[in-house]
Structure formats: C-alpha cells, structure tokens
Amino acid sequence: MTKPCPKESLIETACRSGVWDEAACTHLATCADCQELVLVAKEMLRFGTAPPVPQPNLPSAAFLWHRAYTLNQEEILHRTRRWMRWFYLAAGSVFGVGFGGWTWLHWGLVKADFVSGSQSVLAATASNGGKAGILLFWLTVLLFGFNLLWTWQEWRGLKTGLRAYPRTKD
C-alpha cells in the first residue's frame, strides 16, 4: 500500500495509551501497515528512552533565567543607545543648519570682516555679535564628534569581538 491505513488512528491511540480493545486487536491482526506502525513505534520508544553514552551537559534553570534577564537588559540598553545616536545626529544637524542659517542671514557683516580683516568665518561671526551662531557651531561640532567617537568605539568593539550583543554560535 502507498497510502496510510484509514484505521491508523485507532492503532496509534492504542499504542499511545497501551490499551488494546477488541476492534484494535482484530484490525491489527489483518493490517500489514498497522503492524508496521506498531513495530516502528516500539523500536522508536526503545531507542528514544535508551540513555545516550555522552551525558548531557545541561545548564541549570537559574543560569538560563539570569542569562535571559541579562540579554534582555543588554537589548534594552542597545536599543536606547541606538535612539540616542539618532537623537545626537538629528540635533547636530539642526544646530548645523541653525549656524549656517544665521551666517547666511548676517552674511553682509560677516563678509566685510572676513574679507577686510582676513578672519575666519567663525571669528567674523563672533566679532559681529553672533554668540548664538558660535554656540550653534560648537554644539554641532560636539554632537557630531560624540557620534563619531561612539561609532569608532563600536567599530573597535566589533573588530576585537567585544560586541554589546553576544550572538549565537555558528
């Protein structure tokens, strides 16, 4: 036969429960497929319950519990750091645009100082009372610099295998 016996579930239930009623016994006596099922089930159970020679190295429940907790905490930390990086990047961009905008709006004054006094744009901005512009410039530098430092540290961590996230073994 190439198809399973329609009364297979009857035999499977009897195998599982160990209770063989008359209907199951009668069918089993005449069905080769179900006889095969019983034999394979017996062999599998014998095989499955045999103790393996190498003893399992089972981790304790307490270890697994605390490891899972640690991994969860690391994941939260990682997620927070990712958001913080995006925030720094966005804030740096906003301040950069602010500084650029301020300089553009006061370009007339800045340009005069810049050309005549051979000052840098930054010094020219400062001499024209652009304290806000200077503040924006340094905030931009600080935030982008911090982001760069962070990225470099993570890259170095990846290189040396010191990931924030332990991955599963390949």
Question: Interface with other proteins by CB under 8 A: which residues?
Answer: 3-4, 8, 12, 14-16, 18-22, 25, 28-29, 33, 35-41, 43-54, 56-59, 61-62, 64-65, 67-68, 71-72, 168-170
* Nearest-approach distance from CB 73 to other proteins, in angstroms: 11
CB under 8 Å, gap of 24 or more: what pairs does 134-141 form? 136/95, 136/96, 136/98, 136/99, 136/102, 137/95, 137/99, 139/91, 139/92, 139/95, 140/92, 140/95, 140/96, 140/99
* Nearest-approach distance from CB 85 to other proteins, in angstroms: 24
* Nearest-approach distance from CB 65 to other proteins, in angstroms: 5
* Nearest-approach distance from CB 164 to other proteins, in angstroms: 16
Coil, strand or helix: which one is 69?
helix
Could you give the CA distance from residue 161 to residue 137 in angstroms, rounded to a whole number? Answer: 36
Closest CB to other proteins among residues 6, 108: 6
Closest CB to other proteins among residues 13, 93: 13
Closest CB to other proteins among residues 49, 118: 49
**CA dihedral defined by 102, 105, 108, 113, rounded to 10 degrees?**
0
N-terminal to C-terminal alpha carbon distance within the chain: 43
* Nearest-approach distance from CB 120 to other proteins, in angstroms: 53
Closest CB to other proteins among residues 28, 124: 28
Closest CB to other proteins among residues 112, 164: 164
Residue with tokens 């969860």: 72
